């Protein structure tokens, strides 16, 4: 099987983290299941995860990811922009309309562009000030796949309280962001193609949230850097901590969706359990060591492995010196174009290949001008359905005047999918960006750079246009 979808390694995970980091803003999280009945596709159901920010009265805008959840569509992922408009009907009842535009691929179901659109209509009933039940219908279409159908939808919505109205006991607080790497082995397990399943080396990221003393909820995503070119997983779960002096031990359970890279996850539903130890590094970081199991529910394949992670903790009590210090962040969205070189595709044919990528990024400032950055990209058109890129790196910015700011960034990461020749997937690149400053928080960006595969044929220039937003957290 080709790299049907991606090393979103850091990628979607970075996306989830940057959306969750905006704790200064009121937000909403929606989790739904769309049931498809088309006999033309093995994808029978998609899970929808939407994280939005209010931009007007009862209007939210954000990003969403759709992942294969039933049938034989494990490995299908679609990511893009989404807006939701609510119409209050009664004190506990809303009617909501939504619209999504994005792209992706996977599960051997998508060729060509992979562009996806979806419109939805649901009714909502509030269970608490934060939680609501949802049910309705949707219509979706995916370019390059036999999907252009109605679907039934049901799920949950979680409303995060605003900074000026944090009265609900249900409110969740961001406690940590983690970059992690894992290695899983699958003894006596066959891949979709009937071969022995290779060990999976994964990289990714995670955001965790305090729900009560000693308990965290977490959401993370990982992609394969070896053993399963194109495999990706998105997992959420519950973690229980036990303090042992300066260190802590924990146990956790998780459930989510994964597939691709010839890994036989069936419809894509996966679950896991693990135990681990966390060692503090200074006041704000910790080293986490974890060992656990991973199970594909539909295909019944099982693996076990270890994980190491570096966490940036936001819940620890700061020193007196840093008590009033705020952390600066920057998030961005945009579009970019890659101009294919002669060895861009594995087929060595660039006919109809003009990749347009959507991008999301997060910058974590470690100094006044220097920052760590994560960049996530997936195709929305251009003949390479399922192609995606995940990068991390270091950047530095220079203020020119009140209206212009320049920055330079160096990246390393991974890519895969869409028939693009990325070799084993390891990538490197750099870019320079010019920001036109609209105000202290917002800017429009134009970027030029390059991206190259260390052992594949890809070596391309990049042009990017985007929007950036800055904020601070305590």
pLDDT digits over 32-52, tens only? 999 987 777 778 888 998 988
All CATH 2.40.160.20 domain ranges of the chain, comma separated, are 27-160, 173-313, 327-473
What CATH class is the domain 173-313? mainly beta
Least confident among 5-9, 170-174, 404-408, 449-453: 5-9
Q: What is the mean pLDDT of the chain?
A: 84
Tell me the pairing of strands 388-399 and 442-453. Answer: unpaired
Position 185 confidence tier, pLDDT thresholds 50, 70, 90: very high
Which bin fits 23, alpha (ψ -120 to 50), beta or left (φ > 0)? Answer: alpha
Residues in the chain: 474
> From CA 315, how far away is CA 213, in angstroms rounded?
11
- Confirm if 235 and 256 have CB atoms less than 8 A apart: yes
What is the CATH code for 27-160? Answer: 2.40.160.20
Long-range contacts formed by 323-329: CB under 8 A, 24+ apart: 326/472, 326/473, 326/474, 327/364, 327/365, 327/472, 327/473, 327/474, 328/365, 328/470, 328/471, 328/472, 329/18, 329/21, 329/22, 329/362, 329/363, 329/364, 329/365, 329/470, 329/471, 329/472, 329/473
- Confirm if 200 and 303 have CB atoms less than 8 A apart: yes
The residue ranges of DSSP E strands in 245-284, in sequence order, are 247-259, 269-281
Statement: residue 2 has pLDDT above 70: no
Q: Hey, which of 156-160, 391-395, 396-400 has the most confident mean pLDDT?
A: 396-400
Decide: residue 168, CB within 10 A, 0-12 exposed, 13-18 middle, 19+ buried: middle
CATH 3.40.630.30 correct for 327-473: no
The per-residue pLDDT for 135 is 97
Position 383 confidence tier, pLDDT thresholds 50, 70, 90: confident
Statement: residue 152 has pLDDT above 70: yes
Of 474 and 71, more confident: 71
Q: What is the mean pLDDT of residues 403-415?
A: 92
Q: What is the mean pLDDT of residues 238-254?
A: 94
Of 8 and 221, more confident: 221
Query: pLDDT tens digits, residue range 272-290?
Result: 999 999 999 988 899 999 9
C-alpha torsion sign, points 320, 366, 359, 56:
positive
The per-residue pLDDT for 26 is 45
The per-residue pLDDT for 305 is 95
The DSSP result for 410-449, as a single string, is EEEEEEE-TTB--TTSEEEEEEEEEEEESSSSEEEEEEEE
The per-residue pLDDT for 264 is 85
Percentage of the chain exceeding pLDDT 90: 42
> From CA 332, how far away is CA 470, in angstroms rounded?
9
Position 107 confidence tier, pLDDT thresholds 50, 70, 90: low
- Written as six digits, the tokens of 221 are 């995503």
- Residues whose CB is less than 8 angstroms from the CB of residue 39 and which lie 6 or more positions away in sequence, other chains included: none
Query: pLDDT tens digits, residue range 201-218?
Result: 888 888 888 888 889 999
Q: How does DSSP classify residue 167?
A: -
Q: How many CA atoms lie within 13 A of 133 on its CB side?
A: 3
Position 327 confidence tier, pLDDT thresholds 50, 70, 90: confident
> From CA 88, how far away is CA 90, in angstroms rounded?
6
Secondary structure class of 282 (helix, strand, coil): coil
Position 18 confidence tier, pLDDT thresholds 50, 70, 90: very low
Position 179 confidence tier, pLDDT thresholds 50, 70, 90: confident
- Residues whose CB is less than 8 angstroms from the CB of residue 149 and which lie 6 or more positions away in sequence, other chains included: 36, 37, 38, 139, 140, 141
> From CA 309, how far away is CA 206, in angstroms rounded?
9
The per-residue pLDDT for 166 is 45
- Residues whose CB is less than 8 angstroms from the CB of residue 434 and which lie 6 or more positions away in sequence, other chains included: 404, 405, 406, 445, 446, 447
Least confident among 11-20, 68-77, 238-247, 303-312: 11-20
The per-residue pLDDT for 5 is 36
Q: How does DSSP classify residue 199?
A: P
Of 107 and 451, more confident: 451
Count the neighbouring beta carbons within 10 Å of the beta carbon of residue 223.
33
Q: What is the mean pLDDT of residues 135-144?
A: 91
The per-residue pLDDT for 108 is 65
> From CA 42, how far away is CA 34, in angstroms rounded?
14
Statement: residue 437 has pLDDT above 90: yes
Position 314 confidence tier, pLDDT thresholds 50, 70, 90: confident
> From CA 315, how far away is CA 326, in angstroms rounded?
13
Of 249 and 6, more confident: 249
Statement: residue 25 has pLDDT above 60: no
Alpha carbon of 210 to those of 15, 22, 173, 175: distances in Å?
Answer: 20, 15, 5, 6
Question: What do you get for the CA distance between the two ends of the chain, in Å?
Answer: 46
> From CA 271, how far away is CA 144, in angstroms rounded?
30
The per-residue pLDDT for 109 is 67
């Amino acid at each position: 099987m080709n790299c049907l979808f991606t090393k979103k390694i850091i990628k979607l995970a970075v996306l989830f983290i940057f959306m969750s980091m905006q704790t200064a803003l009121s937000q909403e999280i929606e989790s739904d299941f769309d049931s498809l009945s088309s006999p033309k596709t093995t994808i029978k159901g998609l899970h929808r995860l939407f994280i939005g920010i209010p931009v007007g009265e009862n209007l939210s805008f954000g990003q969403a990811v759709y992942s294969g959840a039933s049938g034989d569509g494990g490995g299908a992922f679609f990511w893009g922009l989404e807006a939701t408009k609510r119409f209050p009907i009664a004190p506990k009842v809303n009617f909501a309309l939504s619209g999504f535009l994005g792209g992706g691929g996977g599960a051997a179901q998508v060729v060509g562009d992979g562009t996806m659109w979806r419109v939805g209509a649901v009714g909502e009933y509030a269970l608490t000030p934060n939680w609501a039940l949802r049910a309705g219908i949707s219509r979706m279409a995916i370019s390059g796949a036999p999907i252009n159908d109605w679907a039934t939808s049901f799920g949950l919505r979680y409303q995060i309280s605003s900074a000026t109205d944090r009265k609900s006991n249900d409110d969740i607080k961001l406690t940590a962001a983690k970059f992690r790497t894992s290695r899983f082995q699958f003894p006596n397990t066959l891949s979709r193609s009937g071969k022995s399943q290779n060990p999976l080396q994964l990289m990714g990221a995670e955001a965790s949230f305090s729900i009560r003393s000693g308990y965290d909820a977490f959401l993370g995503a990982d992609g394969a850097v070896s053993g399963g070119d194109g495999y990706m997983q998105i997992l959420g779960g519950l973690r229980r901590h036990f303090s042992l002096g300066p260190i802590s031990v924990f146990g956790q359970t998780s459930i989510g969706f994964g597939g691709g890279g010839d890994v036989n996850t069936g419809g894509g539903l996966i679950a896991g359990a693990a135990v681990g130890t966390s060692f503090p590094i200074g006041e704000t970081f910790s080293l986490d060591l974890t060992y656990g199991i991973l199970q594909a529910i539909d295909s019944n394949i099982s693996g076990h492995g270890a994980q190491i992670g570096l966490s940036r903790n936001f819940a620890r009590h700061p020193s007196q010196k840093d008590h009033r210090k705020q952390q600066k962040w920057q998030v961005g969205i945009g579009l970019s174009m890659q101009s294919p070189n002669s060895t861009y595709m594995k087929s060595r044919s660039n006919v109809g290949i003009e990749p347009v990528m959507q991008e999301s990024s997060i910058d974590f400032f470690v100094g006044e001008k220097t920052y760590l950055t994560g960049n996530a990209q997936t195709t929305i058109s251009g003949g390479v359905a399922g192609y995606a890129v995940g990068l991390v790196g270091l950047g530095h910015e220079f203020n020119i005047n009140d209206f212009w700011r320049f920055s330079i960034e160096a990246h390393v990461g991974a890519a895969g999918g869409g028939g693009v020749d990325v070799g084993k997937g390891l990538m490197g690149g750099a870019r320079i960006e010019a920001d036109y400053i609209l105000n202290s928080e917002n800017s429009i960006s134009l970027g030029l750079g390059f991206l190259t595969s260390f052992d594949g044929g890809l070596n391309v220039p990049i042009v990017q246009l985007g929007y950036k937003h800055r904020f601070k957290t305590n």
